[in-house]
Copies of this chain bind each other. A is one copy, B any other.
Amino acid sequence: MMSVSQQGDGEAIEEEASPLNPPAAGAESLCFSASPSAARGLAEGHPGHGSEQSSHRLLAYSDALISIIATVMILPVCHTKIRADQELEESLQQLLTTKIAVYIMTFLIVTVAWASHIRLFQVIERIDDVLALLNLACMMLITFLPYTFSLMASFPDDPLGILSFCVCAIIIGLIQAVIVIYGFRRPYLLNAHICASDDQISYKYQILKMTLRAPALFLIAGILSFIYCPVAYVVLALVIFLPYITQCTQWCRNKIKGPKELQRKPFYTFHPNEPLSKERVEAFSDGVFAIVATLLILDICEDNVPEPKEVKEKFHGKLIEALSEYGPEFLAYFGSFVTVGLLWFVHHSLFLYITKPTRLMGLLNTFSLAFIGGLPLAFRLTHEFAAKSRNELEAIQISCVIIFLASLFQFAIWTAALYNEKETLHRHIRYGGKEHAFMFAKLSLYPSVAFVTFCLTYVLSKFSTEIFHLMQIIVPFAFVLLRIIVRIALAILTWLFGRLKPRTSILKEEEESVISVSEAIVVEHPDSEHII
């Protein structure tokens, strides 16, 4: 890099002219101060480009696009009409075989693409115009993946579905490889760690190898699809679970041969503890929550405005009567918005205290979001059937199961964070921390309410709808009053165990943590800057 820097001079100093280029602190500044000179040499050959920018907004936009695309396949599931005389269980089985499976698989595949996008832009930290345009091309192909996937599901024997999927995936991989090569030709765009490192070349080949591994396998799958489709599907599954397979084999090898020397490359390790960009996990989750919360109103706005003619003829011009026909759908909308909103609230509270999400937590988050995507379907079902019918009871039970699983995976994120709490959690939320009990209550509220509702619908199946609506009304208030409830519960516990543990020690503990707060703020300051 340095040898290059001595070649050029003159116009390429322009590279520094970008406005959003604050000099980084510490070791990173080394890299940034080196970059203009490197750029100088490089730009000599390519005078066309320049003006690097912060990648923040590009990534936010990509996250928004990917989150919409991940949840899009729930629409065909939602819009499947079930006739009132049909048994719900039966038709759900039919649905399950195709549409729901397509939804879940699409969600997982799109999140795999998203994860690879995160990894790529953890290496390339700054962008310029060319990278922004390349990324947009990449996004366009990712948004097309769900369609190819539903083709595959509808025509499993036709090679066209798997072929179009493979072609998309290969082009995505190639564009990402171009982005990597482009990034390494302009080191000032790279992550500070790589930029400051001595052997950029080895980094480059490692990352390129990882980026091109998937497209190569997709190419094989595409060729195989002409010969014998089932084998192609196996290869496809292999690619998607490749990170986990790599991880397992590595783990096994380490167990047998003993641990290898510590790898110093922190990128593309696929280790469950590999840190994930917290900002992007939040942005992606926000996108999913937002689109799921509004999915039902999208339908309502389009379909549930009565025709003036119909109102005149059928309801004698009385609009309110016509609207009361749609009553259940409005109820479904409010139910799903409230539930999604509160699950967002729990997610938001949780991620306030997570300092560094890992890949494992990201995976659990994906599962949680996949179930949240199913909520509009569940709520729509709940209000579609005649009161007290068998179908209605089942729809309510399905809703409870979905809420239970979605919130349980949120709880699992916390558990996974607690497992490695010193690195992943803020000190106040760690086991024994001041806010621990409160967070525990917040995270366990939905699973327990959903579980109780589910059990009650079995016992009191006659009142299942009433119980379900009661739950929907109570939960928001429970969240508002949660802090008081936790205080009371803790007071009762303290009072009950008062004899075992003298009260003064608890007070002392509280005081200690109060004192440590001021230290914490000083210590956490660089961290919190990073988070914001």
Contacts and interface: CB of A to CB of B under 8 A. Distances in A.
Interface of A: 11, 13-14, 16-17, 19-23, 47-51, 53-54, 56-58, 60-61, 64-65, 68-69, 72-73, 75-76, 79, 129-130, 132-133, 136, 139-140, 143-144, 146-147, 150-151, 154-155, 158, 160-161, 282-283, 286-287, 289-291, 293-294, 297-298, 300-302, 304-308, 311, 319-320, 323, 333-334, 337-338, 341-342, 344-345, 348-349, 351-353, 355, 426-428, 434-435, 476, 479-484, 487, 510, 513-514, 517-518, 520-521, 524-525, 528-529, 531-532
A354 to B, nearest CB: 10
B532 A54 contact: yes
Given A129-B483, A434-B17, A521-B21, A154 B531 contact: no
B305 A150 contact: yes
- Number of copies of this chain in the oligomer? 2
A99 B454 CA distance: 43
A135 to B, nearest CB: 9
Contact of A48 (B154, B289, B484): B484
B143 A65 contact: no
Interface of A is mostly: helix
A140 B64 contact: no
Nearest to A291: B68
A19 B79 CA distance: 43
Contacts of A426: 19
A482 B49 CA distance: 9
9 closest A-B pairs (Cβ-Cβ)?
Answer: A64-B290, A136-B341, A48-B484, A19-B426, A158-B319, A68-B294, A22-B528, A61-B286, A13-B514
Contacts of A513: 17
Given A19-B520, A47-B484, A79-B302, 8 more contacts: A19-B524, A49-B483, A60-B282, A60-B286, A75-B298, A132-B348, A160-B320, A287-B290
A172 to B, nearest CB: 15
Nearest to A73: B301
Contact of A69 (B136, B297, B352, B479): B297
Contacts of A289: 61
Given A14-B514, A353-B19, A65 B293 contact: yes
A286 B64 contact: yes
A289 to B, nearest CB: 7
A23 B521 contact: yes
Contacts of A64: 64, 286-287, 290
28 contacts: A14-B434, A19-B426, A19-B427, A22-B521, A22-B524, A22-B529, A23-B525, A48-B487, A51-B435, A57-B352, A58-B348, A60-B286, A72-B297, A72-B298, A73-B301, A129-B479, A129-B480, A136-B342, A136-B344, A140-B334, A140-B341, A143-B294, A143-B297, A144-B297, A151-B319, A154-B306, A155-B308, A158-B319
Given A75-B301, A290-B65, A290-B68, A133 B479 contact: yes
Contacts of A298: 68, 72, 75
A147 B301 contact: yes
Contact of A151 (B133, B305, B348): B305
A152 to B, nearest CB: 10
Contacts of A154: 305-308
A337 B140 contact: yes
B348 A57 contact: yes
Nearest to A529: B22
A282 to B, nearest CB: 6
A233 to B, nearest CB: 17
Nearest to A428: B17
Contacts of A334: 140
Contact of A301 (B21, B76, B337, B520): B76
A116 B118 CA distance: 34
Contacts of A140: 334, 337-338, 341
